[in-house]
Homo-oligomer: A and B are copies of this chain.
Amino acid sequence: MTVSPPPAPGELRILPVHGIGEIHPRDDLAGIIADACNAQPATSLLDGDVLVVTQKIVSKAEDRIEAIDTDDPRGHKAIVERESVRILRRRGDLIIAETSHGFVCANAGVDLSNIEAGYAALLPVDSDRSARRIRDAIRHRLGIEVAVIVSDTFGRPWRRGLTDVAIGCAGIRPIADLRGSTDSLGRELQVTEVCIVDELAGAADLVCGKASGVPVALCRGIDPAWLGDGSVADLVRHPSEDLFR
């Protein structure tokens, strides 16, 4: 295995994984990703790497693709409504909904881009499980321990523009809890629960782009202390502490 040059101290590298083609239902996604990574020296997998896999190819591999019922005047909105456990806001064509996973996002994550006309891509049923399968298959195949994040593109209520966030993870703690650490002046820090999986998903988006056919990025150089068991369920704000639902 070719090892990349050592990064500068503390450096984080975000590398696009090239060579992943179209994904189809029941494709061996972990095998395709592992092969694509190891086909390039720069992305040959190492222990502690974090793979960020965009939701669309996970949904395709897991056959979460559904034909839009042309007889239903609601079109793909019928799927959106079925995938929603609660609709928070509706304006024109836009539905802000809560999904079964607890995510609040546009159209309950149902998406028509990067997919054949007449079809919609639904979120994976359990993206933690999707991430775990990829992580386990890579360990089994290569003996390498990587963390995996499944990412999707969400809006924000008060800020324009979209960012990628984590909808599933395996082998990485979603939140780095720095509460109780002291800051550089020796005072106790107040609130510093950093959502590292969302920050990694966003960083990966910067190299994946939307139209360039790069659905996976590799993040190298994260703090090994952040690796471990975790679930995106930890990211869902409990309704009791939610001020905006």
Contact = CB atoms under 8 A, between A and B. Distances in A.
Q: Is the interface of A mostly helix, strand, loop or mixed?
A: loop
Nearest to A190: B113
**Complex copy number for this chain:** 2
Interface stretch (A27-35, A61-69, A131-139, A203-211): A203-211
A199 interface: yes
Contact of A194 (B7, B162, B185, B198): B162
A182 B114 CA distance: 9
Contacts of A198: 159, 161, 163, 202
B234 A160 contact: yes
Interface of A: 4-5, 7-16, 18, 22, 40, 42-43, 88-89, 91, 96, 103-104, 112-117, 153, 156-165, 174-175, 178, 181-185, 187, 189-196, 198-200, 202-203, 205-207, 209-214, 222-223, 234-237, 242-245
